[in-house]
DNA sequence: CCGCGAAACGTGCATATACCCGCATCGTGT
DNA sequence: ACACGATGCGGGTATATGCACGTTTCGCGG
């Protein structure tokens, strides 16, 4: 008999899937808003982070963004190709690949910010900005 | 005071990036938990959805999951390759590709559910389950 | 029946994401 | 100087995601 479990895979909604879904929607919205700037929200985030940190080796950059190291490395590719960042071998430690924000990169950030504010305002109007941050904080430490 | 602009790209945190970050962490947790089942949380979600809906054409399946149509199509590939779903031409409408959950697929869901419950419990212990759902609802409609 | 717009798909391209494995370099103890 | 474990990275593989474009099939009006 259908004991207790599930007639058709237990209907309780999956928290992860819900979160992924929300993220897809939000990302699409930001990407659409940033469209004119030629940046994706992921790229915008990396550039901004770099702007905040200054020249930074890949591994540290990845750690700051809570991104897998190799993912960060690959995400930098398009940015480097477009001259928004420059990647040089570390002076003190030859293993390190130091990522540097170029002038073009700084310009790209500046140009994108108005569009970003747009999206940010639209989304923050729908949810308490703090709620997402709190949620994120609570979830990040979960790993 | 920082009049308006930004000394170094205005420090206000990006809601989208925070959300993406949280999602990465949560997805990693679920994927790790589901590891023994050989399913990713994305795949698990698709199989469960399919279990709930019964045989469904790709476009409708994508709509239900709030996924881009072509993304759904591609996400089905690994599942079909592993025999968890079967894809047949529509009987009434030859344009449609009807996705069907196989016995192996049903078994895979059943086998994965305990692991999924694990992850679900761990995450829901850190955030109100309703909070994520509410957030998702608020954000989804934003597009 | 013919043509035509609409609907359902697939493909190519680009990015995002993570795991595993291997390579080069660093620092350190001997 | 040297062997060795630790560290910083890249490459290969696989999935996830979405956009632009092209193809096939439907349904319909003429």
Cβ atoms B85, B92 nearer than 8 A: no
In the numeric block, the tokens 């609570």 are attached to A138
- Report domain extents, chain B: 40-125
Question: Which of the four pLDDT bands, split at 50, 70 and 90, describes residue B9?
Answer: low
- Count chain A–chain B contacts defined by CB atoms under 8 A: 176
Q: Sort out which chain B residues have CB atoms less than 8 A from A8's CB and list them.
A: 51-52
Q: For A86-111, what is the mean pLDDT?
A: 96
Provide the mean pLDDT of chain B: 90
Q: Is residue B103 scored above 90 in pLDDT?
A: yes
Report A:70-129 residues touching B (Cβ under 8 A): 109-110, 113, 116, 119-120, 122-124, 126-127, 129
Chain D positions within 7 A of any protein Cβ atom are 7-12, 14-20, 24-27
Check: pTM over 0.85? Answer yes or no: yes
Residue A56: per-residue pLDDT: 97
Residue B2: per-residue pLDDT: 43
- Percent of chain A at pLDDT > 70 equals 90
Does B131 contact A133 at a Cβ distance shorter than 8 Å?
no
Query: For residues A124 and B44, what is the distance between their CA atoms, to the nearest angstrom?
Result: 31
Report B:5-64 residues touching A (Cβ under 8 A): 6, 8-30, 41-42, 44-45, 47-48, 51-52
Triad A64, A65, A67: Cα angle to 5°: 115
A38-140 has CATH 1.10.10.10 classification: yes
- Specify the CATH architecture of the domain B40-125: Orthogonal Bundle (1.10)
Does A123 contact B13 at a Cβ distance shorter than 8 Å?
no
Q: Is residue A5 scored above 80 in pLDDT?
A: no
Does B14 contact A116 at a Cβ distance shorter than 8 Å?
yes
Does A138 contact B127 at a Cβ distance shorter than 8 Å?
yes
Question: Which of the four pLDDT bands, split at 50, 70 and 90, describes residue A3?
Answer: very low
Query: For residues B25 and A16, what is the distance between their CA atoms, to the nearest angstrom?
Result: 10
How distant, in Å, are the alpha carbons of A9, A47, A99 from that of A104? 52, 11, 14
Q: Is residue A142 scored above 80 in pLDDT?
A: no
Residue range A32-68, pLDDT digits in tens = 999 999 999 999 999 999 999 999 999 999 999 999 9
Give the best-scoring range by mean pLDDT among A7-16, A101-110, A117-126: A101-110
For A88, the 3-state DSSP assignment is strand
Consecutive H or E run containing A11: none
Query: For residues A8 and B53, what is the distance between their CA atoms, to the nearest angstrom?
Result: 10
Residue B126: per-residue pLDDT: 87
Query: For residues B39 and B112, what is the distance between their CA atoms, to the nearest angstrom?
Result: 7
Confirm whether any atom of chain D, the nucleic acid strand, is less than 7 Å from CB of B28.
Answer: no
């Amino acid at each position: 008999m259908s004991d207790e479990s599930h007639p058709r895979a237990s209907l309780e909604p999956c928290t992860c899937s819900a979160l992924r879904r929300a993220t897809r929607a939000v990302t699409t919205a930001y990407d659409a808003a940033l469209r004119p700037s030629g940046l994706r929200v992921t790229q915008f985030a990396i550039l901004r982070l770099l702007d905040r940190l200054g020249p930074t080796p890949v591994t540290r950059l990845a750690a700051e963004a809570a991104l897998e190291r190799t993912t960060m490395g690959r995400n930098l590719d398009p940015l480097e190709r477009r001259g928004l960042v420059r990647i040089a071998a570390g002076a003190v430690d030859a293993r390190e690949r130091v990522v540097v924000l170029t002038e073009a990169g700084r310009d790209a950030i500046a140009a994108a910010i108005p569009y970003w504010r747009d999206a940010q305002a639209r989304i923050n109007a729908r949810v308490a900005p703090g709620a997402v941050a709190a949620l994120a904080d609570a979830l990040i430490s979960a790993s």
